[in-house]
A and B are shown apart, each in its own frame.
Chain A
Amino acid sequence: MSEDLLKVRNLTKKFGTITALNNVSLEIKNNEMFALLGPSGCGKTTLLRIIAGFEYPDSGQVLINDSDLLSIPTRTRPVNLMFQSYALFPHMDIFSNISYGLTNTSLTKEEINNQTNEIIEKIGLGEHVKKKPNQLSGGQQQRVALARAIARKPKILLLDEPLSALDKKIRQEMQVELKRIQHEFGITFIIVTHDQDEAISLANRIAVFDKGEIKQISTPQELYENPTNEFVANFIGEGNILKAISTNSGFEHPCLGKVNISHSMGAGKSVTVLIRPESIVLSPATTGAGQITDAVFAGAKKNITIKLTTNEIMRVYADKSANLEVGSHVNLSFNPQDVRVF
């Protein structure tokens, strides 16, 4: 048995003329926090629903521990889903909600009660067992949804936009809580989200989706530092994307001049350049490469917006004490190692 718990191979799914998934392949390791990240309509939810058993692909394979997952009926798959809307049963109390999955097994009543109580205790819902879902706050409802989904001890827990409905403070609490629970129960988590912050803060690895295709699979840090294409560069973190012409040793941009980087794409081609806002140092100049159009104080730093002479807009983080006034001209410098070219 390989260390990959779930293997998705060449999965394709079409809804009418729309291709939701186009030949998607990925591997998810045991005990991983894996995120499927992308804008809405990119196919990530379709993949989640195929794994859960609510959709069936047109072609391709999904393997769990090297055996076919798609031939297992939805109700007996070793996979559970935490719904975006929580989908708690409104007419049942919290205890019945959480024990519902266990009542569909061959466990005795006593075993069901014991296991349910154990989960209720671990997730910290003890005082609410007799309440109905609508008597709980959003954060508490989410805990119930989480407890209900892990009660059957699935091999994989699928989480659909787990933090999107919560306000900021509870989000941070839940992030910590999700990691703790994942660790404690030893379940592989697959998180679907359109929110890069959510993916970056939760996941060990992220698959970035666009238009039904995977653009890159990597750790959050790798995706930020070494995006392999413009879509990922744009989607993850804040970045400045510039159009430039490649040279034999790097690229040339009208405002930045010739820049030498470690690899070349061949001369004379039009290329895309990514420079992160924190990689740029500004120096005042009488006639510079650009003019400051906006400077906003943001705590430890200043967010500077610059309009280049090519009319491209760049965002730069500057020291809060830097004497940079709106309207003044600046030159930009950066370490060529921090630049990515596609």
Chain B
Amino acid sequence: MPKKINLSLIITLVVLVFLYLPILAVVGLSFNTSSNSLIWKGFGFDWYQNIWTNEPIIRSFQRTIFVALVTTFFSLLIGTTISIGLNKMKAGGFLRTFSTAPAIVPDLVLAIGLLTTFSTISLSLNLSTVIISHTVFCTAFVVAIVLARIGLMDPSIEEASTDLGAGPFKTLFKVTIPQLMPALIAGAVLSFTLSMDEFVIAFFTNGPETPTLPMVIYSMIRFGVTPEINVLGTLLLAISFVGVILAQRIGKVADSI
């Protein structure tokens, strides 16, 4: 009897290779000791050490992390407030759609709009305009995630808190927010990773003095893919991965309570 060929397994493997080969190439080549990233010379951490001494890169890396952290904070704050408000108002589809629209508006449109707005009110472009811009679209993602969770919450639970004598603030911090925790964690991780590797909007709304990491990579890449770029790509990937895994861990704990 001829051995049966498992076609679906083959297709799955092909698709997986297609999806992950580029990522593996970046990670693998980041350990290349050669100064030409396309010629394999040997395995080593040479370029990782090299990066630490490259001040423009390290500075832009710090800026990117700073922007991502501040963006995450404000997106969570604003997004959660909007979600709780929409839920309390029993707002219909119109307001809900509007609150999540910046997530699906093309980045380019958002970037042009933000730049126009900033120049109209003569705001000088620097990291704070990047943070404002990133907060606009990250907030939309937070709203989408938190609204989904809040809809699953039993509305009687907040009433029970009031019935048992708690004021609105105690109800918010002791009852509502703890129940939204898994959504807040997911929203935070998403905001952070979205902001960290965001290029188009940052490119439009940033000043020339304070480039973020994606902007620095873009300017470097005009001279070809250097080994530094592979290293930076690997580092960004690692940060995203750690964030997602942490979120899943904490989310699981938060979900079980």
A: which residues have CB within 8 A of B?
52-54, 74-76, 80-81, 83-85, 87-91, 100-101, 104-105, 132, 148-149, 151-152
Supposing A91-B257, A152-B165 touch, asked if A83 and B175 sit within 8 A by C-beta, the answer is no
Among A80, A91, A132, the residue within 8 A (CB) of B163 is A80
Asked if A74 meets B164 with Cβ closer than 8 Å, knowing A104-B170, A132-B257, the reply is no
Contacting A87 at CB < 8 Å: which of B159, B165, B166, B170?
Answer: B159
- B34 CB–A CB distance under 8 Å: no
Contact partners of A90 in chain B: CB under 8 A? 157, 179, 257
Q: Do residues A87 and B178 form an inter-chain contact, with CB atoms below 8 A?
A: no
A87 & B257 in contact (Cβ 8 Å cutoff)? no
Separation of A91 and B178 alpha carbons in the complex (Å):
7
Name the distance in Å between A208's Cβ and chain B's nearest Cβ: 26
Are B179 and A100 touching (Cβ within 8 A)? no
Q: Which of B154, B163, B178, B181 contacts A75 (CB 8 A)?
A: B163
Chain A contacts for B159, CB-based, 8 A: 54, 81, 83, 87
Interface residues of B (CB under 8 A from A): 154, 156-157, 159-167, 170, 174-175, 178-179, 181, 257
Given contacts A81-B163, A88-B157, A90-B157, 13 further A-B contacts (CB under 8 A): A54-B159, A74-B163, A75-B162, A75-B163, A75-B166, A80-B163, A81-B160, A91-B178, A91-B181, A101-B165, A104-B167, A152-B164, A152-B165
Q: Considering the chains assembled together, what is the distance between the CA atoms of A88 and B157 in angstroms?
A: 7
Residues of A within 8 A of B181 (CB): 91
Cβ-closest chain B residue relative to A101: B164
Q: List 18 A-B contacts (CB under 8 A).
A: A54-B159, A75-B162, A75-B165, A75-B167, A80-B163, A81-B160, A83-B159, A83-B160, A87-B157, A91-B178, A91-B179, A100-B161, A100-B166, A104-B164, A104-B166, A104-B170, A148-B164, A152-B165
In the complex, which residue of chain A has the Cβ closest to the Cβ of B153? Answer: A90
Distance (whole angstroms) from the CB of B166 to the closest CB of chain A:
5
Q: A74–B178 contact, CB under 8 A?
A: no
| B162 close to A74 (CB less than 8 A) | yes
Distance in Å: Cβ of A156 to nearest Cβ of chain B = 12
Residues of B within 8 A of A87 (CB): 154, 156-157, 159-160
Rounded to whole angstroms, the CA-CA distance of A167 and B101 in the bound complex is 46
**Bound complex: CA A84 to CA B160 (Å):** 11
> Which residue on A lies nearest to B181, using beta carbons?
A91
Identify the interface centre among A80, A87, A149: most chain B CB within 10 Å of its CB: A87
Q: Which residues of B contact A149 (CB under 8 A)?
A: 163-164
Is there an interface contact between B156 and A85, defined as CB atoms closer than 8 Å? yes
Cα A204 to Cα B163 in complex, Å, equals 26
Task: Give me the 3 closest cross-chain CB pairs, A-B, nearest first.
Answer: A104-B165, A101-B164, A87-B156
- Docked Cα-Cα span, A89 to B174, in Å, equals 9
CA distance A81 to B165 in the complex (A): 12
Chain B residues positioned under 8 Å from A85 (CB to CB): 154, 156
Give Cα A81 to B166, complex, Å: 14
Docked CA distance A205–B166 (Å): 33
User: In the complex, are the beta carbons of B257 and A105 less than 8 A apart?
Assistant: no
Contacts of B167 in A (CB 8 A): 75, 104
A contact residues around B257 at 8 Å (CB) = 90-91, 132
Min CB gap A176→B, angstroms: 25
A141 CA to B57 CA, complexed, in Å: 57
> Which residue of chain A is the closest to B254 with respect to CB atoms?
A91
Residues of A within 8 A of B163 (CB): 52-53, 74-75, 80-81, 149
Q: How far is the CA of A54 from the CA of B163 in the complex (A)?
A: 9
Closest to A105 in B: B165
Instruction: State in angstroms the CA–CA spacing of A81 and B163 once bound together.
Output: 7
Q: Which residues of B contact A132 (CB under 8 A)?
A: 257
Please tell me which one of the listed residues A54, A80, A84, A91 contacts residue B164 in the complex, with CB atoms under 8 A apart: A80
CB neighbours (8 Å) of A53 from chain B are 162-163
Cα–Cα, bound, A104→B175 (Å): 14
Q: Are B156 and A83 in contact (CB under 8 A)?
A: yes
Docked Cα-Cα span, A299 to B245, in Å, equals: 62
Write the nearest CB–CB distance from B173 to chain A, whole angstroms. Answer: 12
Given contacts A75-B163, A75-B165, A75-B166, A89 and B154 within 8 Å (CB-CB): no
Q: How many Å lie between the Cα of A123 and that of B157 in the bound state?
A: 22
Chain B residue, CB-CB nearest to A134: B256
Chain A residues near B178: list those with CB within 8 A. Answer: 91
Considering the chains assembled together, what is the distance between the CA atoms of A76 and B165 in angstroms?
6
Complex Cα–Cα for A246 and B226 (A): 104
- Give the CA-CA distance A90 to B256 in the complex, in Å: 9
Residues on A with C-beta less than 8 A from B166 are 75, 100, 104
Docked complex Cα distance between A2 and B161 (Å): 32
Closest CB-CB distance, A93 to chain B, in whole Å? Answer: 9
Smallest beta-carbon distance A294→chain B, Å? 43
Please measure, in the bound complex, the distance between the C-alpha atom of A105 and the C-alpha atom of B162, giving whole angstroms: 13
**Which residues of B have CB within 8 Å of A80?**
163-164
**Nearest-CB residue, chain A, relative to B167:** A75
What residues on A are CB-neighbors of B179 within 8 Å?
90-91
CB-CB under 8 A from A152, the residues of chain B are 164-165
B156: which A residues are within 8 A, CB to CB?
A: 83-85, 87
Q: Closest approach, in angstroms, between the C-beta of B113 and any C-beta of chain A?
A: 40
Residues of chain B within 8 A of A74, CB atoms compared: 162-163
Q: Tell me how far the C-beta of A159 lies from the nearest C-beta in chain B, rounded to whole angstroms.
A: 13
> In chain B, what residue has the closest Cβ to A75?
B165
Complex Cα spacing A76 to B162, Å: 9
A199 to B181, CA, bound (A): 40
| Separation of A156 and B160 alpha carbons in the complex (Å) | 15
